[in-house]
Structure 1
Amino acid sequence: MLKKPVEAALFDMDGLLLDTEAIYVEAIQVAARGLGYPDMPIELCHSTAGVTGPVRNRMIETHYGEGFSIDAFREHFSVHVRRRTEAGIPLKPGVVELLDFLGGRGLPLAVATSARRPTAENHLGKAGLLDRFKAVATRDDVERTKPHPDVYLEAARRLGVAPERCIAFEDSNVGLEAAHAAGTMAFMVPDLVQPLPESRARCLQVMPDLHAALRLLREHL
């Protein structure tokens, strides 16, 4: 299963550690309605999972076409996300148990996210996870974002571990492509979008949740 000895673990953030992708989809629809537009097709909403904010905005702007104000949309979107996350950030099932296990084995942990650094640190902090990670690599730290491997390479570099000796966890096809391209031993735990055939081929295993990931790692670490 694991091709090389594991020396570190890397994690995507949204949709993998934090149950935020559904909040973002909800915010897209609320923002569109607030501007008098119809809801976006749910498939298009789901296709924004794993991409950066600017890419998501371009997809939305293209969908609604001429006359659509992306600046006004972003304001509505941001207000809704802040309101939904003000009291705290919900965790995906199994996060705490998996992090406890990996930490107990002495493995350094890092986050590799397409979010901006202020957002990543704020959300991880609200979720009570920030102190668990030795490093957080964001899109502010790299030239190219996912699906390019840069943020995973940067996360591994900050831990001082070769990428091929890192296990990585992703929920999106875009993110899985990045983790694979970085040379990590990647697992996929889908959130909103099911894995494409090429994602299944690139990852070591697709698992239903992080509880399943924990059971597997207990057998192999």
Structure 2
Amino acid sequence: MSRRRKALVLDFDGLVADTEVLWLAVLRRLYRTYFQELPYASVVESVGGTLHDFDPFTDLSARCGSVDASELEEQAECLFRAWMAYEAPLPGVRRLIAEAQLRAVPLAIASSSREASVVPYLDQFGLRDAFSVVVTADDVVRVKPAPDLYLLAARRLGTEPEHIVAFEDSGRGVRAAKAAGALCVAVPHVLTRSHDFDAADIRLDSLALCDLEDLLSHDPSEVRR
């Protein structure tokens, strides 16, 4: 008999909010402002990671030769914040949270982004109080694909990693969840469909297709769907 899952841990960027696609639009605007073309493949490959994977601001600064990377980053951040003011959670997010709360299943966020790039938007969406735990890049030495964020989230939730269901939109996020021992649901979006999701236990085209009751009793030995 399978063990019922005891908590849900969600990635934030690209899973709760459509920030990855929005950042792509911001970066395209920024690059074109300086008459440059954004290296799309590099951006897609780095989704779910950090500026250590691909830093568009250093790249653009090197191309221009006259604008500092920190100035470019500030320009992009300002535009991103302005555009995010019009955003809402992705389809399925509010229902998943509501169903988890009805079943008294704890919720957490595990994000490779900094806290300042996550918590203000949870507040904006009115979702901050739904998550008893929020762990970000500020809380660990290693971000995804290392398992540290998930291990810390499980510890703060008071459960074991194998008792959580992790929701991820990127290949490196899936690797992090599986390295921690969690059951992982992959929900790719337009920028990550080319990522390797073979390690995921379940793959959904949208979080709106999630059946929480099924997930909470899911047996990892079942054939992946």
| Same fold? TM cut 0.5 | yes
**Residue 7 of structure 2: aligned partner:** 8
Aligned counterparts of 1:121 and 1:53: Cα–Cα separation in 2: 19
Cα deviation for residue 60 of structure 1 reads: 5.3
Q: For residues 38 and 62 of structure 1, do their structure 2 counterparts lie closer, same or farther at Cα, with a shift above 3 Å needed?
A: closer
Cα deviation for residue 142 of structure 1 reads: 0.3
8 Å contact from structure 1 (residues 3, 185) kept in 2: no
Aligned counterparts of 1:19 and 1:56: Cα–Cα separation in 2: 19
* Moved >3 Å (runs of 4+): 53-56, 62-66
Aligned counterparts of 2:85 and 2:40: Cα–Cα separation in 1: 25
**Residue 74 of structure 1: aligned partner:** 73
Q: TM-score, normalised by structure 1?
A: 0.88
Aligned counterparts of 2:215 and 2:119: Cα–Cα separation in 1: 31
Aligned counterparts of 2:178 and 2:59: Cα–Cα separation in 1: 29
Given residue 218 of structure 1, which amino acid in structure 2 is its aligned partner?
E
What is the root-mean-square deviation of aligned Cα atoms in Å? 2.1
Q: TM-score, normalised by structure 2?
A: 0.86
**Residue 141 of structure 1: aligned partner:** 139
Percent identical among aligned pairs is 32
Cα deviation for residue 220 of structure 1 reads: 4.7
Give the unaligned 5+ runs of structure 1: none
Aligned counterparts of 2:54 and 2:131: Cα–Cα separation in 1: 27
8 Å contact from structure 2 (residues 92, 206) kept in 1: yes
Larger helix share, 1 or 2: 1
Aligned counterparts of 2:57 and 2:4: Cα–Cα separation in 1: 42
Given residue 171 of structure 1, which amino acid in structure 2 is its aligned partner?
D
Does residue 208 in structure 1 map to residue 205 in structure 2?
Answer: yes
> Number of residues paired by the alignment?
213
Aligned counterparts of 1:211 and 1:71: Cα–Cα separation in 2: 38
**Residue 172 of structure 2: aligned partner:** 174
Q: For residues 186 and 132 of structure 1, do their structure 2 counterparts lie closer, same or farther at Cα, with a shift above 3 Å needed?
A: same
